[in-house]
Copies of this chain bind each other. A is one copy, B any other.
Amino acid sequence: MQDHASEKDFLAAYNIHDYEVPLTSVDMAIFKLREQQLEVLLVKRSQHPAKDTWALPGGFIDLKKDNVLEDTAHRKLVEKTGVKSPYLEQVATFGGKQRDPRGWSVTVVYFALVAHEEIDVDPKGAKEETRWVPVSEALSDYKLAFDHNEILRLCRERLTSKVQYTALPIHLLPEEFTLTELQKVFEVILGNEVEKKSFRRRILDADILEESGAMRTGSNRPAKLYRLKRGVENHFFPRTIEGPRS
């Protein structure tokens, strides 16, 4: 390409295919909680490369439909789960010469938290075989496509790390939940027990929940139901959860 006098001329003559560019995609770890286990959604690849192997859901940016990167992630998420208002967070971007046999590739990684109860078991966009797998199992027993094991490991790490000082796990529960239910979620992700009183104080003092008014009943004392206060997306605590002192 030669020099151009104005930006207008430059853009008119510009053709992206004159340059070597990497292949850029979006991948995501979609987490949910089921029976006291953290599970992640895997997809069996129906196309080459890595055909027939399990992978994290993802795909290419649709240059027409997607206005910003997050749209791509959101689109994929809805395709796979049908969840309308997920928690979505960008984790990191992986890029390199070796990670995809097609050549230099870049993938922007998101993680999503969805409530088990809000998942559409057969969403519209479902074309490939999918499967929910406990995260530890996905990491130890599955040889995922490309560098997806590494990517998943980082997503899990980011999640556990943020659980130490934020109220993220709320997004793994349906709109209304009891404090004990929330505590259980923290315990599952952290992998250790949490002291009841400390936990309740921590959450309640943060002033991010409101009572829904209803109660959860069972074969014992009923529990208050809470929901996230309007406008509270996420909360950062001044200290990390400390766990048992022993």
CA distance A22 to B69 in the complex (A): 11
Q: Chain B contacts of A102 at CB under 8 A?
A: 11, 14, 16
Q: How many residues belonging to A are interface residues under a CB distance threshold of 8 Å?
A: 43
Q: Chain B contacts of A48 at CB under 8 A?
A: 4, 6-7, 10-11
Residues of A190-228 at the interface with B, using a CB-CB cut-off of 8 Å, are none
CA distance A179 to B51 in the complex (A): 56
- Does the CB pair A239–B238 fall under 8 Å? yes
Which listed residue (B4, B16, B92, B97) contacts A63, Cβ 8 A? Answer: B97
- Does the CB pair A106–B24 fall under 8 Å? yes
Q: Chain B contacts of A239 at CB under 8 A?
A: 238-240
- Does the CB pair A69–B95 fall under 8 Å? yes
CA distance A21 to B68 in the complex (A): 14
If A102-B11, A238-B242, A242-B238 touch, does A66 touch B97 (CB 8 Å cutoff)? Answer: yes
CA distance A20 to B98 in the complex (A): 21
Which listed residue (B4, B16, B90, B238) contacts A93, Cβ 8 A? Answer: B90
Residues of A67-125 at the interface with B, using a CB-CB cut-off of 8 Å, are 67-69, 90, 92-98, 101-104, 106, 108
- Does the CB pair A63–B24 fall under 8 Å? no
- Does the CB pair A96–B67 fall under 8 Å? yes
CA distance A69 to B90 in the complex (A): 17
CA distance A11 to B98 in the complex (A): 14
CA distance A4 to B48 in the complex (A): 8
- Does the CB pair B98–A69 fall under 8 Å? no
Q: Chain B contacts of A97 at CB under 8 A?
A: 63, 66-68
Q: Chain B contacts of A126 at CB under 8 A?
A: none
Q: Does A174 contact B (CB under 8 A)?
A: no
Bits for A18-41, please: 1 = Cβ < 8 Å to B, else 0.
Answer: 011111100000000000000000
14 extra interface residue pairs, beta carbon distance < 8 Å, beyond A7-B50, A10-B49, A67-B98? A7-B48, A11-B101, A11-B102, A17-B17, A21-B21, A22-B24, A22-B63, A61-B106, A66-B97, A67-B96, A69-B94, A95-B108, A106-B106, A238-B242
8 A-B pairs with least C-beta separation: A69-B95, A10-B48, A68-B96, A93-B93, A63-B104, A239-B239, A20-B63, A7-B48
Q: What are some 10 contacts across the A-B interface (CB < 8 A)?
A: A11-B48, A20-B63, A21-B21, A67-B97, A68-B95, A68-B97, A69-B94, A106-B108, A238-B239, A238-B242
